């Protein structure tokens, strides 16, 4: 049986290798954490009021999108379909966009079940602008 000091030395080596605290992707204690989404662009960036009334699809590209990620427009969640870790389709309609103007669009991902282990989990992407004319 290894001595206590050998066990503590091994534990210290594992902590150093895993990057604790602060957890990294290889840390098994952060297995349920979710990455912060990154939004790089939306398409289209401009829509007409008529398109909004009949609903249309807004395409978002970026990275770190997961099944739990949602699209928000000015703090209103819209119907979201995460098609890949780099693409999301959002359904935009009159419930989320009330008329002409510029609306802020972003992606939010709720935190996972990582607990208080120093693991980052979830978050909000940067914002893009959708102009409705």
What residues are paired with 84 via a beta bridge? 87
- Superfamily for the 32-111+122-132 domain: Immunoglobulins (2.60.40.10)
Q: What is the distance between the terminal CA atoms of the chain, rounded to a whole angstrom?
A: 74
Q: Band the pLDDT of 85: cuts 50, 70, 90.
A: very high
Using CB atoms within 10 Å of the CB of residue 25, give its burial: 0 to 12 exposed, 13 to 18 middle, 19+ buried.
exposed
Q: Band the pLDDT of 33: cuts 50, 70, 90.
A: confident
Every domain of the chain and the residues it spans: 1-30, 32-111+122-132
**How confident is the model at residue 101, as a pLDDT?**
96
The mean pLDDT of 28-37, rounded to a whole number, is: 73
> In the predicted model, is pLDDT for residue 10 greater than 80?
no
The mean pLDDT of 36-58, rounded to a whole number, is: 95
Using CB atoms within 10 Å of the CB of residue 120, give its burial: 0 to 12 exposed, 13 to 18 middle, 19+ buried.
middle
Consecutive H or E run containing 57 = strand 56-63
């Amino acid at each position: 049986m290894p001595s206590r000091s050998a066990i503590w030395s091994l534990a210290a080596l594992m902590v150093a290798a895993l990057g604790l605290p602060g957890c990294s992707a290889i840390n098994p204690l952060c297995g349920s954490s979710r990455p912060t989404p990154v939004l790089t662009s939306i398409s289209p960036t401009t829509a007409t009021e008529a398109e909004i009334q009949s609903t249309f699809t807004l395409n978002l590209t970026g990275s770190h999108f997961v099944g739990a990620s949602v699209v928000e427009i000015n703090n209103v969640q819209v119907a979201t379909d995460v098609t890949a870790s780099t693409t999301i389709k959002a359904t935009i309609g009159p419930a989320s966009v009330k008329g002409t103007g510029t609306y802020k669009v972003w992606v939010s991902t709720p935190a996972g079940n990582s607990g208080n282990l120093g693991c980052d989990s979830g978050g909000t992407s940067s914002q893009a602008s959708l102009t409705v004319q």
